[in-house]
Structure 1
Amino acid sequence: MSHAREVNFPEGFRIFDEGNRAETFWIVRSGTVTLEIPVPGHRSAPVESLGPGELVGWSWLFPPYVWQLCAEAMTPVRAYEFDGMTVRMLMDADPAFGSAVGQWVGRVLAHRLHQTRTRLLDLYAPH
């Protein structure tokens, strides 16, 4: 937490967009963030809503460090912001810390992949 800084996002603020450089991540303190996946020829599909204690952003951990989804503040959001490069250096310096962060982000990533797949099937699969 000594490397975190507190940030605020107003309702409707685009936190990041797919394809942009992923250099930071956030842990929500209060408010709601919606993750979306752009769908060519359609409106973006909301994938999941995130609240207090949840991780916003995992693309900072994996090269080429580019956002894979979009994120928007659905309510005013207070969050802790972390610099991805700094955290990656800390992970390299302390293998136990690196393993713990990698496992945490991996669990989040697996959950988000499942949520995205389920949401896209709900929206676009033949019924």
Structure 2
Amino acid sequence: MSRPGPVPSTGLIGSLPPGHRERLLTLAHEVDHPALTRLFEEGGRADRFWIVRTGTVALDIHLPGRGPAVVETIGAGGLVGWSWLCPPHEWHLGAETRSQVEAWQFDAAEVRAVCAAHPEFGLPLVTLVAETIGRRLRATRTRLLDLYGPQPGAPSP
């Protein structure tokens, strides 16, 4: 696979040791998505993930009676999708490109198989994905508190 431009020194790829970074990138396929492309919906089958090279992707959660609310925006170097790692492999959020996006796309089953066969590769990758999960859960909680929590100056119940 050819990779135009430098490999990011930040984000998931940049956080991996160089040998692991190269191994992961051998599993990647380059993809381009125009702005406003839905990548996945909450509850759908999580069979792939992306690392953004350029552009931005908004992660959203469906709020009953309100529709989707953006909980985080992911830019260059960021991981889009972590639900591929954890059974039952269903998306916990939705995702839509906000601008033209160039990304590396990974087949989840293939990456899980390589991680299982090579724990010295899998452990650092899974650890970085777990850190991403923690950040996303905190961001989602904060966003939901912004949407549903008491507003400044609002009367107390």
Q: Normalising by structure 1, what TM-score?
A: 0.98
Letter in 2 for 1:116: T
Question: What pairs with 1:20-35 in structure 2 (closer than 5 Å)?
Answer: 20-35=44-59
Letter in 1 for 2:140: T
Q: Number of residue pairs matched?
A: 127
Residue matched to 2:62: 38
Relative CO higher for 1 or 2, CA cutoff 8 Å, sep ≥ 6?
1
For residue 70 of structure 1, the aligned residue among 74, 82, 94 is 94
In structure 1, distance between residues paired with 2:150 and 2:73: 25
Question: What pairs with 1:71-110 in structure 2 (closer than 5 Å)?
Answer: 71-110=95-134
> Where do 4+ consecutive residues of structure 1 move more than 2 Å?
none
In structure 1, distance between residues paired with 2:67 and 2:106: 30
Q: Higher Cα Rg: structure 1 or 2?
A: 2
Residue matched to 1:125: 149
What secondary structure is seen at the aligned counterpart in 2 of 1:49? strand
In structure 2, distance between residues paired with 1:16 and 1:43: 15
Instruction: Give unpaired runs (5+ residues) of structure 2.
Output: 1-24, 152-157
Q: Normalising by structure 2, what TM-score?
A: 0.80
Instruction: Give unpaired runs (5+ residues) of structure 1.
Output: none
